[in-house]
Structure 1
């Protein structure tokens, strides 16, 4: 479901000139994004190499990539001279970063999120770069606002969000050279049945755990759509850098989602507290204008998520902490 390219992606793959390299491809989204790119290149009938670069501690994930036409490179990007070992690539999707575990290890987060991008922009100067970022760098806004548009000024809270904005600023500065084109890709939250906001809420309903309604609203989007937007975004990188919010069209209610899972699981959700009138919300209207609306709806994601858990599907046990408002990760 995550790696089948749409007709739009296949057509855009014909327009993307040169090979594609994905840095930090071993994380939650990287493997499915890389395979999706390889399948789209095959569907487009173009001879395009897809490189996936990561330390690849998970050999199963690496085999999945290789078996699906992706060339993997095992590399610690932070090691001295590592970037010089990489082949040239006209197109870069930058996914490397650190979020969880920031508390108590703030310097390492800044090193990964800001120092490494400085080296990457020097090594891949003159290319097209899609830079993964986060919608959490925006301020909280009223739930009736429609969310922050991609032209609104970031107001990051906490070390993770500040270092994420720092990553953006490094790539933004590089894009002003007139040669390097950059798209700052601000995502929240991608849904994969193994993890995500819907997974977090479904698990709590299934295990009869209490759900706090204080952070009562969020955005989410099917990860397959988010992956497509990242790949197709290579055609929309600009100099100076452009910004693109990527998420779903709804302002989603925690109370509503918990209730839907309750119906599917035959349980009564245990809710506490009351919804605050502000939340971290993004407006992805420009993304929909470029790529259309997601084909997978919220209700479909909820149904799939319930079926996945009831059938014992594999999970990653990585909570999103979407309810966090103080920037502590």
Structure 2
């Protein structure tokens, strides 16, 4: 980020500004990147901020290029931010075929919450839609979102899964996410498009994520299950920044990058820190089994540098947000899950 970080986030407007603020490195990349940029899945948790960040980076770069935002629903707010919006049902191959061909694509679409009770739709969204997109955008470079859940649960002693750890997805959600990767690989393996798979876990911001889940339970006095006692997180603004910076990393065959924070932290210790900040006593249940979806982000850190918002700041911001009565997105991460059922 190009400005000093605040002590706390005062409201929605400041939260949106911080999450969509481009780094100086991203602005410089936009000065040399060839072609327009398209964000597919622009209305999810990450999409709106990523689109705004791309627009701001393009504007600051002084280079004329379009930023397209693609989703099924209305995106009037993204039009106001400078994006060219297109409504498209990705399960309709004819609709996908009408999308303009651009050099740079970021694919965010995925189905997670409720996946266990909607298995057919999980596979349709996570496998069929990516195939339609991958088939259409041959010749493009594509940053394709994936998840650390394609790896096995890892011991805290392992240092986390690296990009060389063989996938071992547990449950149909994680299996379908590996399927999403393979749909892009069909074309990347043939040299027909350049791809980088971003295996992300877990993005956080003040209204959502592992830290919000823990802090809200501390605030409410709800027991915190310690079975999955460790996690990685990364500020969603850093996710957006690294996603755009990853465009030149795309290759054929595909590259894999783990995107998360560098620290594997203790849920217990973070809960105790929230308790100190919020003047509450955390309530715990269970004991740590030493495993979780833990990723090693050394490779991405070497490419992009450390995340711009450190863990201590994220904890402080989240505690202050909840104490101030800030809104929630109402979507628990279920980071405690080790059986693949969401």
Tell me the TM-score normalized by structure 1: 0.96
User: What is aligned with 1:139?
Assistant: 152
Pairs within 5 Å for 1:270-281: 270-281=283-294
Does the Cα contact within 8 Å between 1:133 and 1:186 map onto a contact in 2?
Answer: yes
User: What is aligned with 1:40?
Assistant: 57
Q: Which moved more, 1:35-44 or 1:79-88?
A: 79-88
Q: Determine whether 1:76 maps to 2:76.
A: no
Question: Which of these residues, 162, 167, 171, is aligned with residue 180 of structure 2?
Answer: 167
Over 3 Å off, 4+ runs: none
Q: Which moved more, 1:205-214 or 1:309-318?
A: 309-318
Does the Cα contact within 8 Å between 2:215 and 2:271 map onto a contact in 1?
Answer: yes
User: What is aligned with 2:299?
Assistant: 286
What's the offset of the Cα at 1:80? 4.8
Q: Determine whether 1:15 maps to 2:32.
A: yes
Give the distance between the partners of 2:203 and 2:327, measured in 1 at CA: 17
Pairs within 5 Å for 1:100-111: 100-111=113-124
Question: Which of these residues, 62, 67, 71, is aligned with residue 54 of structure 1?
Answer: 71
Pairs within 5 Å for 1:193-212: 193-212=206-225
The unaligned stretches of length 5 or more in structure 1 are: none
The superposition leaves residues 64-87 of structure 1 with CA deviations (integer Å, 9 ceiling, x where unpaired) of 312211122122222351112211
Structure 1 residues 157 and 238, CA, compared in 2 at 3 Å: closer, same or farther? same
User: What is aligned with 1:97?
Assistant: 110
What's the offset of the Cα at 1:177? 2.2
Does the Cα contact within 8 Å between 1:13 and 1:232 map onto a contact in 2?
Answer: no
Aligned pairs, how many?
325
Q: Which moved more, 1:137-146 or 1:184-193?
A: 137-146
3-state SS, counterpart of residue 82 of structure 1: helix
Q: Which moved more, 1:7-16 or 1:239-248?
A: 7-16
Question: Which of these residues, 207, 215, 218, is aligned with residue 231 of structure 2?
Answer: 218
User: What is aligned with 1:114?
Assistant: 127
The unaligned stretches of length 5 or more in structure 2 are: 1-17
Give the distance between the partners of 2:340 and 2:324, measured in 1 at CA: 34
What's the offset of the Cα at 1:55? 1.4
Q: Determine whether 1:237 maps to 2:250.
A: yes
Question: Which of these residues, 134, 146, 153, is aligned with residue 166 of structure 2?
Answer: 153
Does the Cα contact within 8 Å between 2:90 and 2:132 map onto a contact in 1?
Answer: no
The superposition leaves residues 166-210 of structure 1 with CA deviations (integer Å, 9 ceiling, x where unpaired) of 010111121022230000110000011111111111110011100
Give the distance between the partners of 2:274 and 2:76, measured in 1 at CA: 34
Does the Cα contact within 8 Å between 2:227 and 2:287 map onto a contact in 1?
Answer: yes
User: What is aligned with 2:45?
Assistant: 28
Q: Determine whether 1:88 maps to 2:105.
A: no
The superposition leaves residues 147-173 of structure 1 with CA deviations (integer Å, 9 ceiling, x where unpaired) of 011121110000000000001011112
User: What is aligned with 1:3?
Assistant: 20
Give the distance between the partners of 2:65 and 2:326, measured in 1 at CA: 33
Give the distance between the partners of 2:272 and 2:334, measured in 1 at CA: 20
Q: Which moved more, 1:97-106 or 1:259-268?
A: 97-106
Does the Cα contact within 8 Å between 2:91 and 2:132 map onto a contact in 1?
Answer: no
CA RMSD of aligned residues (A): 1.1
Give the distance between the partners of 1:15 and 1:325, measured in 2 at CA: 43
